[in-house]
Structure 1
Amino acid sequence: MNEITFKESKKGRIIYYNEGLRPLYSPSIETESTEIIAQAYAIFWADQTWEHAWLLEKLLPIDDLAKEHEEAKQFKEALRGYYAQLRDLDIEANTFTNISEKLITEIGGFIDFENDLKNRQLKGKICTLIYPLFLEHTVREQNRSLNQLQALKENKLVFDRQEIITFWSQAIAEHAAFFAHWLDPTESQIEEKTLHYNQQFLKSYQELNIEIDIDTLIGDFINYSSVTLNNIIEHKIRSIIFPDLADHYRREAIFFRDQLRKAEWLEKKAA
């Protein structure tokens, strides 16, 4: 997987990987400028969050929940708009802070929307096709995005290896669980393999198991996600998984890997 320079200045680089359905944007490993890292992460989180809204739009029944369906659509369009603005922004533009603040506000509103959906669903007031855990999962990711962007705004460069492992191991474990339960019941072998990854990442999250080689595990899961994505696109897997969602999970696994690499690079530099 080769990285390609997307934007560059004297302060650092934003790179992208062009595999899959859409590119993943990330700061280069050697970039230390909180300004450049913030731009890269704003692009990443705007991209991932608009897709969260897109999936909610798909899974909210329009006949029964027309208002909620329309709200999800509006969040999707607004967040996708910020993603496009941030992606196309010059790396040295002085308008980044303004767009970033609007993105943060929009994500905050979307979090409130998701929490309301989850609470109403758990109380039996509405019925959707969305797992409550999925809403908890996306809210957790979006809260992380707000915390990261706020820290970078305050010029704080925080890359704690163990914290990264804990957060993203839980996220990837849940990705694998969602994936396994969206497979057709006939796909028992793929379900078994996917749940194996779920258990491995749960061990990494729950037990901080030092016997697990997390770098190898992530690499294996990225490869598995890439193969699975292609098989879904080519209709070789029976499932109700949208190809875009499979690609979404693949990109987040790569982001996990890059966060770890960044933490390791900073640790070595500080030693």
Structure 2
Amino acid sequence: MQLRIDSPDSDPGAVPDIVRRRVLVGGVTLIAATIAAGCRTGRAPVTAADPPVAASPRSGPEAARAMTVTNGRKPVFVPEPGANDAVSLSVADNLFWNDILMEHAKFFVVLMPGPELAQQRCEAERFQHAFAEQFRRTSSARFDGASYRGLNQATIDLARPFIDWKRRMQDAQSTGNLRSLVWPLFFEHTAREVERFVARLAGYNAGRVEYDRTEVVDFWAQIMEEHSEFIAHLLDPKEKTLIKAADKSADLFRGLRRDPDAKMKAAAEAHAIVAFKTTAEKGIREGAIKSIIDPALADHVRREAVKFKDELQRV
């Protein structure tokens, strides 16, 4: 199967088959999530279920305005167009990133096999459960100007230990003290995502809601570059065309970070990477692409590309 990465001059318009729906968050009091004791090995997998969707999430002038973008296996949670208030940004980011962090932990569980890694796998399962619970609580509660800070602080309190854990695992893997199937760069990559998420939530709580274009492009271009590198190394060696396409994508985003003038092309390149990852996820899921990429991981990186594109449209 062949995939094409559009050139930076391609039309940066919407990817076909994207459906946008407003998210209804309805009336349960938030309780701060805690990391559950014990492991879940052998039990049903922990997932973050989709929240209910309705025509409008508003229940008052300060109600959150969040919505879903649907063009793949799972929806992407973003603020509604034009919503730049702390409540809407907080709820949308909590829905998006708690789901993403749950999946980080899920991937670590899979990539830490065997009895030698039972302790680390158990720790990852606890984080997986905790972020799935925080997602559920976010999607089932109603937030406004009086309550969103509590949501953000509860998430920050969950996320900081996960950052520390990822950094410890990164150091252990880098020095040979951990023998998992997780690249040190994957630990670093995912820790960087949580650090940025925590910084955004802390900013919302302090009344800072603006996006800085340089920061958005620099952060997401590095994430997209590394995604492309991961994909290139997880494809079957016979998928030479796709490996070259992934390498080309990594080069494009590396150049985007290093060349200030190239940052004006960010929207086109964001559109191209969403299209590439959407097609790749479908090919992996249907078995048309040979790889060791789990379809859940393919969809995970697709959703992050959609998030990148959405943030670019807000700066």
Q: Normalising to structure 1: TM-score of the pair?
A: 0.92
Post-superposition offset of 1:94: 5.6
In 1, Cα distance between equivalents of 2:143 and 2:172: 42
Matches within 5 A, 1:26-37: 26-37=78-89
Query: Does the CA contact (< 8 Å) of 2:163 and 2:191 recur in 1?
Result: yes
Q: 1:179 aligns with which of 231, 237, 241?
A: 231
Q: CA deviation at 1:158?
A: 2.1
Provide, for residues 217-239 of structure 1, a one-character-per-residue CA deviation record: whole Å limited to 9, x for no partner.
11111111111111011001111
What is residue 114 of structure 1 aligned with on the other side? 166
Identity of paired residues, percent? 27
AA aligned to 1:2 is V
What's the CA shift string for 1:186-232, capped at 9, x where partnerless? 11111111111111011001223437621111111111111111101
**2:45 match:** none
Partner of 1:247: 299
- Conserved 8 A contact 2:87-2:145: no
Do 2:256 and 2:263's aligned partners in 1 also have CA atoms closer than 8 Å? Answer: no
Does residue 205 of structure 2 align to residue 153 of structure 1? yes
Equivalent in the alignment of 2:20? 3
- In the TM superposition, residue 21 of structure 1 has moved relative to its aligned partner by 1.1
Equivalent residue letter for 2:298: A
Correspondences of 1:40-189 after superposition (within 5 Å): 40-92=92-144, 96-189=148-241
Quote how far apart the aligned CAs of 1:91 are: 4.1
Please report how far the alpha carbon of residue 83 of structure 1 lies from its aligned counterpart in structure 2 after TM superposition.
0.9
Match of 2:289 among 197, 219, 237: 237
Q: Conserved in 2, the CA contact under 8 Å of 1:45 and 1:145?
A: yes
Give the Cα–Cα distance (whole angstroms) in 1 for the partners of residues 112 and 263 of structure 2. Answer: 42
| Local SS of the residue matching 1:240 | coil
Partner of 2:34: none
Partner in structure 2 of residue 224 of structure 1: 276
Distance in 2 separating the partners of 1:200 and 1:114: 28
Q: TM-score, normalised by structure 2?
A: 0.80
Other-structure match for 1:206: 258
Number of residue-to-residue matches in the alignment? 263
The verdict on how the C-alpha distance between 1:240 and 1:219 changes in structure 2, with shifts beyond 3 A counting, is same
**Cα offset for 1:3?**
1.7
Query: Which residue identity is paired with 2:19?
Result: N
Q: Deviations over 1:28-70 (max 9, x none)?
A: 1211211221111111111111111111111012321110010
Q: Looking at both structures, which has the greater relative contact order when contacts are Cα pairs under 8 Å and sequence separation is at least 6?
A: 2
Contact 1:82-1:99 at 8 Å conserved across structures: no
C-alpha deviation, 1:95, in angstroms: 5.1
Does the 8 Å CA contact 1:13/1:27 hold for their aligned counterparts? Answer: yes
Ranges in structure 2 where 5+ consecutive residues have no aligned partner: 1-17, 25-56
CA distance in 2, matches of 1:205, 1:121: 27
List alignment gaps of at least 5 residues for structure 1. 264-271
